[in-house]
Chain A
Amino acid sequence: MRKRANVTGITILVFFLLLAILISMRLTGLDRSFPNPVGNVLQRVAAPVEYVILSAGRSVSDHWKMLWRIPRIETENETLQLQMDELMAENLRLKSQILAGLRYNELDQAQFRAPTADKYEQIGASIVNRNPSAWFQTLILNRGSRDGVAVEDPVVAHSGLVGKVISVSGGTCEVLMILDSEGQVSALVRESAGEGVFGIVQGTYDRSSRLTAEGNLQMTFRREDPVNRGDLVYTSGIGGVYPKDIPIGKVVEIKLDRSGLMKTAYIEPIVHFDSLEEVYIIKTVGGE
Chain B
Amino acid sequence: MRYIRYLLLAVLFFFSLILPGTLFHFWSWGGVKPDLVMLLTIYFAMHHRSAVYALGTGIIFGLLQDLFLGKYIGMYALTLMVVAGLSFWLAGRWYRENLFLTLVLVFGVSLAGQAMIGFLGLAVGSLWSPTEILRLVLGIAVYNTILTPMTYPWIHHSFLYGWLRYRPKYER
Contact = CB atoms under 8 A, between A and B. Distances in A.
B124 A49 contact: no
A25 B26 contact: no
Contact of B25 (A29, A49, A57): A57
A25 B75 contact: yes
Interface in A28-72: 28-30, 36, 38-39, 42-43, 45-46, 49-50, 53-54, 57-58, 60-61
A102 interface: no
B133 interface: no
Contacts of A87: none
A22 B78 CA distance: 10
B139 to A, nearest CB: 20
Interface string A66-106: 00000000000000000000000000000000000000000
A49 B74 CA distance: 26
Contacts of B125: 26, 29
Interface stretch (A13-21, A216-224, A260-268): A13-21
Contact of B67 (A26, A38, A49, A61): A38
A21 B78 contact: yes
Contacts of B64: 38, 42
A54 B68 contact: no
Instruction: Categorize the interface residue count of chain B.
Output: 20 to 34
Contact of B72 (A29, A38, A49, A60): A29
Interface in B75-101: 75, 77-78
A113 to B, nearest CB: 65
B18 interface: yes
A36 B124 contact: no
Given A21-B77, A29-B72, A42 B23 contact: no
A29 B127 CA distance: 12
A174 B55 CA distance: 120
Interface of A is mostly: helix
B92 to A, nearest CB: 19
B70 A36 contact: yes
B67 A39 contact: yes
Interface string B1-21: 000000000000010011101
Contacts of A36: 67, 70
Given A29-B125, A39-B68, A54-B22, A46 B17 contact: yes
A29 B67 contact: no
Contacts of A46: 14, 17-18, 68
B115 interface: no
A43 B21 CA distance: 12
B112 interface: no
30 contacts: A21-B75, A22-B74, A22-B123, A24-B73, A24-B74, A25-B73, A26-B124, A26-B125, A27-B73, A28-B71, A28-B72, A28-B74, A29-B71, A29-B72, A30-B71, A36-B70, A38-B67, A39-B68, A39-B70, A42-B67, A42-B68, A45-B14, A46-B17, A49-B18, A50-B18, A53-B18, A53-B19, A57-B23, A57-B25, A61-B26
Given A42-B17, A45-B14, A54-B22, 14 more contacts: A22-B123, A24-B74, A25-B73, A25-B120, A25-B123, A26-B125, A28-B71, A29-B72, A39-B67, A43-B70, A46-B18, A49-B18, A57-B23, A60-B26
